[in-house]
Amino acid sequence: MLYRISCTEMDALFAALSETKTVYLPADREDGQASFVKWTEGTALSNRLNTVRSAKDFFFPQIQPLARFRREGQKIEITDLREESEDFVIFGARACDVRSFEILDRVFLADPVDTSYQTRREHAAIVTMACARPEETCFCTAFDIDPAKPADGDVRAYIADGYCYLEPLTEKGETLLAGAGECLEESDGAAVEAEAGRIRAILEKLPLASLKPADNREKELDVFNSPKWEEMASHCLGCGACTFVCPTCQCFDINDFDSGHGIERYRCWDSCMYHDFTLMASGTPRLTQKERFRQRFMHKLVYYPIRYDGVFSCVGCGRCLRKCPINMNIVKVMKELTGVRPAGAGEEA
């Protein structure tokens, strides 16, 4: 079944969905970027290709309180700070971000299950928006993601001809749209097929359209020992920008914070790019930025595929291409490892 609603009526749709669930959607910011925000009356859906931070934040937030410890005399009082999630809707995540949930699931939902992650996943309904205007930094097709006809999520959506088209992909998606009530009308698939065709034609022309990750599962040590890491990592600043905007980066740290009135234990994102990543009593196993840099890309392109049946831990969203202060990124690494270096501007200007 396919439904549609005029783009001018989107507020009515969000209002109807909000009656039972909190709705989050990407909205434009003053600085020309977009972020996921909670819908309130009048919040418009952004046309930007992607949000600065990825949608992983909904399931794996940057900071998450775990427990509070208070001591009184000989007694220690321990409070569990984890909360059960409420139903919510992520409206308008892109196909790349939605695929990243699967990549995170394999880690967080495997035994032992991460219950905080699990409760958020179970309570979320996801509406995946096709990408009307892919950009030069996009390479999701390298990972068999189809932004012209998203396959993941509970509902697939398109914006075309002044309408938002919605197609449920799961039972949860059908229930969600049934809850939208009167504001949706049924539609045939002609406009959606035309839009998917239009997007596919753009995808073929993307500068990174021919990028394909190499299956290096059999060559783990060759890649690990490649002399190219030294040069690739040589100007990495060791910040965590790539890691924190990445939809598939999943490492975290657990810290205790002394509030002066007790201890709060929380977990927060960590970055393998940091010099104190996995610091332990004996020191760090990765002494220089070369080893830290290598860890990030080995994890995404070699270790994860070895562990999970050839699946890469990258969805080609392009955020690291946009946000690295020195413009080093996974695409350059993939090309370098396969011997293709970006051409210089050699003879220009």
Residues forming contacts to another protein in the complex (CB under 8 A) are 31-33, 35, 49, 52-53, 62-63, 133-137, 202, 205-208, 234-235, 237-241, 243-245, 253, 255, 257, 264, 266, 268-271, 274-276, 279, 321, 323, 325-329, 331-332, 341-349
CA-closest candidate to residue 18, choices 33, 35, 37: 37
Closest CB to another protein among residues 243, 295: 243
Closest CB to another protein among residues 31, 186: 31
Closest CB to another protein among residues 179, 238: 238
Distant-in-sequence, close-in-space partners of 15: CB < 8 Å, separation ≥ 6: 41
Closest CB to another protein among residues 129, 184: 129
Kindly state the smallest distance separating residue 288's Cβ from another protein, in Å.
11
SS3 72: strand
Kindly state the smallest distance separating residue 33's Cβ from another protein, in Å.
7
CA-closest candidate to residue 76, choices 67, 85, 84: 67
Distance (Å, whole) CA 345 – CA 349: 9
Please, what is the Cα angle at 243 between 239 and 247, to 5 degrees? 160
Which residues are bridge partners to 166 per DSSP? Answer: 3, 157
Closest CB to another protein among residues 167, 195: 195
Kindly state the smallest distance separating residue 205's Cβ from another protein, in Å.
6
Kindly state the smallest distance separating residue 228's Cβ from another protein, in Å.
13
Closest CB to another protein among residues 152, 264: 264
Closest CB to another protein among residues 153, 213: 213
Distance (Å, whole) CA 49 – CA 31: 15
Write the burial class of residue 203 (CB in 10 Å: 0-12 exposed, 13-18 middle, 19+ buried): middle
Q: Cα dist. 74→77, 78, 149, 259, 264 in Å?
A: 10, 13, 61, 19, 19
Kindly state the smallest distance separating residue 319's Cβ from another protein, in Å.
8
- Please check whether residue 2 is in contact with residue 193, taking contact to mean a CB–CB distance below 8 angstroms: no
Distant-in-sequence, close-in-space partners of 20: CB < 8 Å, separation ≥ 6: 87, 179
**Max CA pair span of the chain:** 75
Kindly state the smallest distance separating residue 245's Cβ from another protein, in Å.
6
Kindly state the smallest distance separating residue 34's Cβ from another protein, in Å.
11
